[in-house]
């Protein structure tokens, strides 16, 4: 969700920037764009379609998560000369590292889950288990490797969609915003 917001905000800022400069958006030729499609398809199947995610073994889902992140990292590397891609890749590395050292899952603390779903029924989730069909594993902060990089932030209560996100997600979003903003070209001085 944070990435989608960054893309939309960056695209709007890039359009405004281009309009002020009196030109169209300049869309560069991105290398290996197909990797993004494959990576998001893998994550969509494993984590967004409950009918598939509920039947998928946890090990298979974690392998799909790591595979999709490696594909996204390869895409970022191939496009590292474009504005924002270094940040985007750095955020992906942070997420991949915390996921890899925690058994192939993004850790989320019980405290964060309670903030995310304060009205969840008792037994809706349990420590040491995957949070529904998401990419998150509920782990106490003290048992989480690299806890500071985990899904530990929650969007404000006024936001209509509840989601937790990591520092890596923030850096990925900043990189995406920067890239889309840069499509507006340079401002005349």
pLDDT value of residue 177:
97
Low-confidence ranges of the chain (pLDDT < 50): none
Q: Which DSSP string do the residues of 60-114 spell out, in sequence order?
A: HHHHHHHHHHHHHHHHHHHTTTSTTHHHHHHHHHHHHHHHHTTTTSEEE-HHHHH
With contact defined as beta carbons under 8 Å apart, do 186 and 22 qualify? no
pLDDT value of residue 92:
98
Measure the CA–CA gap between 78 and 63, rounded to whole angstroms: 23
pLDDT value of residue 187:
56
pLDDT value of residue 52:
85
pLDDT value of residue 122:
73
For the chain, percent helix, then strand, then coil, each to nearest 5? 55, 5, 40
Measure the CA–CA gap between 160 and 113, rounded to whole angstroms: 17
């Amino acid at each position: 969700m944070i990435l989608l917001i960054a893309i939309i905000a960056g695209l709007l800022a890039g359009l405004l920037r281009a309009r002020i400069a009196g030109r169209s958006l300049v869309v560069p030729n991105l290398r290996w764009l197909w990797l993004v499609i494959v990576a998001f398809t893998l994550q969509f199947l494993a984590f967004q379609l409950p009918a598939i995610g509920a039947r998928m073994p946890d090990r298979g889902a974690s392998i799909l998560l790591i595979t999709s992140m490696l594909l996204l990292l390869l895409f970022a590397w191939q496009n590292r000369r474009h504005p924002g891609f270094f940040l985007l890749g750095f955020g992906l590395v942070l997420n991949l590292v915390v996921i890899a050292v925690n058994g192939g899952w993004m850790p989320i603390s019980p405290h964060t889950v309670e903030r995310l779903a304060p009205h969840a029924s008792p037994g809706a989730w349990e420590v040491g288990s995957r949070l529904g069909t998401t990419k998150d594993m509920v782990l106490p902060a003290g048992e989480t490797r690299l806890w500071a990089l985990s899904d530990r932030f929650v969007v404000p209560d006024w936001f209509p969609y509840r989601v937790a996100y990591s520092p890596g997600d923030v850096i990925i979003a900043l990189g995406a915003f920067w890239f889309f903003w840069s499509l507006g070209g340079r401002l005349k001085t």
